[in-house]
């Protein structure tokens, strides 16, 4: 599950953790992505479910004319689509999960990306203490929902209106098939 980003999202929704609305790409065809565009709206982010890091494995589908280029860029990969997030900042929290299931986290940081690569990290994040605490609690809740012990990195968007994504009702839209 940790290696498949879409399965992670399904798991988090089922655990009641806020995450961006996402849909599976069941067929890597222009018609399938056009259906996803109609369901999520444009732009949307097309993402590789596996083997993606630092923005590699992501493609912004700005409108229907971008679909062929997106499919070419991410060919031969299992895909999913994510609703566009109008975010103000990207925050991250490193969470340590113990063998007994307890979670302890490092302070929330703000990451700044250039060309999809993290170029700068502000520690602590340049947001209010309340937002840093909310991010920490969200990250710990996400990590607590998984099994195993270790150090987990949880990345999240702070939306332009100062909130994090809202919880999505379990089963909707993750179990919905568009194509």
CATH number of the structural domain spanning residue 30:
3.30.1490.20
CATH number of the structural domain spanning residue 136:
3.30.470.20
Whether 50 and 35 have beta carbons less than 8 Å apart is answered as: no
52 and 27 inside one domain: yes
Q: Which of 137, 125, 127 is nearest to 160 (CA)?
A: 127
DSSP H helices, 41-119, are 67-73
Could you list the residue range(s) of the whole structural domain that residue 73 is in? 5-83
Structural domain includes residue 171: no
72 and 41 inside one domain: yes
61 and 97 inside one domain: no
Tens of pLDDT, residues 15-66: 988 888 899 999 999 999 999 999 999 999 999 999 887 778 999 999 999 9
Q: Given this model, what pLDDT does residue 52 score?
A: 84
Structural domain includes residue 152: yes
9 and 77 inside one domain: yes
Report how many domains make up the chain. Answer: 2
Structural domain includes residue 65: yes
Whether 93 and 106 have beta carbons less than 8 Å apart is answered as: yes
94 and 36 inside one domain: no
Structure tokens at 139: 């990250």
Phi-psi region of 76 (alpha: psi -120 to 50; beta: other; left: phi over 0): left
70 and 109 inside one domain: no
For 45, 117, 118, 140, the CA distances from 97, given in Å and listed in that order, are 30, 26, 24, 9
Tens of pLDDT, residues 73-96: 999 899 999 999 889 999 999 999
Confidence of residue 174 (pLDDT cuts 50, 70, 90): low
30 and 79 inside one domain: yes
Confidence of residue 168 (pLDDT cuts 50, 70, 90): low
**Average pLDDT of the segment spanning 136-157:** 93
Q: How far apart are CA 19 and CA 166, in angstroms?
A: 7
% of the chain with per-residue pLDDT over 70: 93
Query: pTM of this prediction?
Result: 0.86
Structural domain includes residue 178: no
106 and 125 inside one domain: yes
Torsion on CA atoms 116, 119, 123, 127, rounded to nearest 10: -50
Q: Which of 21, 26, 42, 28 is nearest to 70 (CA)?
A: 28
């Amino acid at each position: 599950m940790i290696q498949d980003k879409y399965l992670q999202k399904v798991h988090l929704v089922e655990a009641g953790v806020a995450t961006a609305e996402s849909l599976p790409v069941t067929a890597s065809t222009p018609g399938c992505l056009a259906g996803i565009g109609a369901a999520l709206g444009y732009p949307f982010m097309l993402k590789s479910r596996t083997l993606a890091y630092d923005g590699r494995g992501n493609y912004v589908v700005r409108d229907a004319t971008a679909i062929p280029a997106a499919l070419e860029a991410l060919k031969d990969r299992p895909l999913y689509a994510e609703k566009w997030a109008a975010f103000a900042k990207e925050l991250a929290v490193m969470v340590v999960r113990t063998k007994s299931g307890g979670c302890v986290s490092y302070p929330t940081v703000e990451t700044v990306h250039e060309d999809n690569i993290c170029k700068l990290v502000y520690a602590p994040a340049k947001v209010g203490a309340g937002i840093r605490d909310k991010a920490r609690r969200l990250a710990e809740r996400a990590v607590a929902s998984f099994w195993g012990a270790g150090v987990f990195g949880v990345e999240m968007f702070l939306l332009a209106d100062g909130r994090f994504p809202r919880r999505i009702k379990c089963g909707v839209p993750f179990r919905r098939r568009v194509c």
